[in-house]
Amino acid sequence: MTEAAFTPRVFSGIQPSGNLTLGNYLGAVKRFVEMQNSGIETIYCVVDMHAITVWQDPEALRRQTRELTAAYLACGLDPKKSILFNQSQVSAHAELGWLFNCVARLGWMNRMTQFKDKAGKNAEKMSLGLYAYPSLMAADILAYKATHVPVGEDQKQHVELTRDIANKFNHDFKTNFFPEPEPIIDGAGTRVMSLRDGSKKMSKSDPSDMSRINMTDDADAIAKKIRKAKTDPEPLPDNMDGLADRPEARNLINIYAGISGQTPAEVLTEVAGQQFGQFKPLLADLAVAHLAPIADEMGRLMADPAEIDRILGDGANRAAEIAEPILADAYDIVGMIRSR
Ligand code: TYM
């Protein structure tokens, strides 16, 4: 089926499950803003129902939901241009998620690397929700018939599963109802690595706070984390091949490029030959200049939680207007009687 039959529409989401990191920012939010400003229709969600697939303290979940919304706004998402809302306020996500639980196959879920990573040796003790999570993610996207999904590298497999679910639904019910959405994974920041270990993803759940930059870190914390970031003793090379076996060096160059909007190769032409003692202060200055105003604006927005809740409620109304007719058609296709 060709995508051309569907109106272009962007959907993406982030879990309110802890600190927003520089990885979330470069891999997702910064690109959400670019897509919003390119004029395409954009819908961005705070996926609170995904967050509860692992334990969340209720008060902390409320705070983190508002904080992530504040981050969306502080980074440049505009509720007049994009639909911004939290997932649980639009019941179509859960309802379509159930239909998809009955379309997706157990074998597909068993192949999801993120479940294996999160569950480790404790799979038996994980929630059923964590296992079924990719099916809810497919519902998030397809409740809007979204065609483009900006995500970081680690979500690629889930978007591919969404395509499989759309395809199987269309095939089983002999229809052309759902699009097969494209993951949009581009730019230098789609896989930001830990500052302590260049082979591990920067993550909000890493036990070491020194491994990540949080969007709420102040200038001193950002500078300290970059100063202490793991590196190697070699000077920076003048081309990308020279970074092939140097994951930590490559990560810092990618971060610089992601923040400055250059390509990593362009950054290298400026900093070739420098030792990390020279390069790290440059990176710290760039990061602080870019991130400190965002943290300040988040603080200002968090002082008025009622306004944040109002924005989420308004976004949820607009989201529901799109999703409910799509859900109703999906129920009809499946054969459910809808008589009230
Ligand atoms: P989540 O909340 O783990 O991450 C949100 C977004 O940030 C990206 N990301 C990164 N990008 C680059 N480097 C990193 N170190 C890094 N860490 C995280 C993620 O790829 C993601 O784009 N399942 C999703 C949330 C979700 C969703 C959706 C996304 C639920 N429904 C529908 C798109 C469409 C998740 O857990 O992302």
What does the alpha-carbon distance between residue 166 and residue 181 come to, in Å, rounded to a whole number? 9
Average pLDDT score, the chain: 96
Edge-to-edge, what's the strand order for the sheet holding 148-150? 82-86, 41-46, 9-14, 148-150, 182-184
Please name the residue whose Cα sits nearest to atom 16 of ligand 1: 23
Is 151 touching ligand 1 by the criterion CB < 6 Å?
Answer: yes
Selection from 313, 291, 292, 296 nearest residue 66 by Cα: 313
pLDDT computed for residue 2 by the predictor: 46
Pocket of ligand 1, candidates 9, 11, 12, 14: which has the most ligand atoms within 8 Å of its Cβ, to mutate? 14
Asked if pLDDT for residue 14 goes beyond 70, the answer is: yes
Ligand 1 center from residue 27 Cα (angstroms):
8
How far apart are the two ends of the chain, measured CA to CA in Å?
A: 34
Q: How far is CA 51 from CA 55, 133, 170, in A?
A: 8, 10, 29
Is 50 touching ligand 1 by the criterion CB < 6 Å?
Answer: yes
pLDDT computed for residue 184 by the predictor: 97
**What are 151's two structure tokens?**
């995500």
Q: Are 75 and 294 in contact (CB under 8 A)?
A: yes
Digit-coded pLDDT (tens) for 76-93: 999 999 999 999 999 999
Q: Which helix (H) or strand (E) holds 43?
A: strand 41-46
Please name the residue whose Cα sits nearest to atom 36 of ligand 1: 15
pLDDT computed for residue 3 by the predictor: 44
Residue numbers annotated as active site: 118, 201, 204
Is 148 touching ligand 1 by the criterion CB < 6 Å?
Answer: no
Digit-coded pLDDT (tens) for 161-216: 999 999 999 999 999 999 999 999 999 999 999 999 999 999 998 999 999 999 99
Domains of the chain listed by start with CATH number:
3-184+304-334 (3.40.50.620), 209-300 (1.10.240.10)
Least confident stretch, 52-56, 104-108, 203-207, 278-282: 203-207
Ligand 1 center from residue 153 Cα (angstroms):
9
AA identity, residue 181:
P
Ligand 1 center from residue 6 Cα (angstroms):
24
Digit-coded pLDDT (tens) for 232-267: 999 999 999 999 999 999 999 999 999 999 999 999
- ∠ CA 115-117-121, nearest 5°, is 95
